[in-house]
Amino acid sequence: MESSRRLNKFLSESGICSRREADRLIESGKIIVNGKPGVIGMQVTREDEICYQGKAINKESKEVLLVFNKPRGIVCTGEKREKNNIIDYLDYPIRIFTIGRLDKDSQGLILMTNQGDLVNKILRAGNSHEKEYIVKVDNKITKKFLSKMRSGVPILDTITRPCQVKQIDEYTFNIILTQGLNRQIRRMCTYLGYEVQRLKRIRVMNFELGNLPIGQYRKATNKEMKMLNAAIKNSTSLPIHLN
């Protein structure tokens, strides 16, 4: 028998909005259940017809989490106005969306799912989830540059958190961040007089890009999901972006 869930949880899992925002939509009469305005706390199943803005919302019965190697030039949005949007590029058979972002000029790992609750749990400020990148810059890397990057750089009216930085060759370094400021690595490098030529994300939390070809995706493994569930078990605080 189909299990029921609260209407706000159904909306969150469908990727429409957060549970808090779902409650506001329900209270304002914008969620229609079987032809009538929904009520806070009501139980629903996939058998119910649930509509928002005149369109039916269908929670996928099968939960999906993908590891995708995003090519440069693809934008992490579902906006149809953006011809290079990630949703059209991937053309996955069911409705999915990105967990966080990776800017248009960058390549590498982006997580994609149809689970709204999972998105909310991962994108939490208090968890300090690690994101690892390989970066190539236009000038030779110095000890001073590495030291400044590790200790913190003033960008966007704040100082970046201390992070791990390791030189790979004269122009390339590896960096592990635990925050997601907008275009953070590019801004940090610019402040120090460097320009990023190539930026590739190779890891988010316990998910690694490995040898996944550019433009291809794979499903998360059972081992990865087990580690993820342990990491977000006590997820709290406000959402941030996995830049």
5-56 and 65-125+207-231, same CATH topology: no
Q: What CATH number does the domain located at 65-125+207-231 have?
A: 3.30.70.580
Domain at 5-56, CATH class: alpha beta
Please state the domain extents for the chain.
Answer: 5-56, 65-125+207-231, 130-204
pLDDT higher for 203 or 11?
A: 203
Report whether pLDDT(118) > 70.
yes
Residue among 91, 103, 117, 138 flagged as catalytic = 103
Mean pLDDT (whole number) for 9-22: 78
Judge whether 103 counts as a catalytic residue. Answer: yes
Q: Which residues pair with 109 in a beta bridge?
A: 69
Q: What is the pTM of this model?
A: 0.74
| CA 84, chain centre distance (Å) | 18
Q: Which fold has domain 130-204?
A: Alpha-Beta Plaits (3.30.70)
CB 4 within 8 A of CB 45: yes
30-57 pLDDT, tens digit each: 999 999 999 999 999 878 888 888 878 7
Q: Burial of 191 by CB count in 10 Å (0-12 exposed, 13-18 middle, 19+ buried)? A: middle
Q: What residues contact residue 35 under an 8 Å CB cut-off, 6+ apart?
A: 49
Angle subtended at Cα 82 by Cα 217 and Cα 214, rounded to the nearest 5 degrees: 25
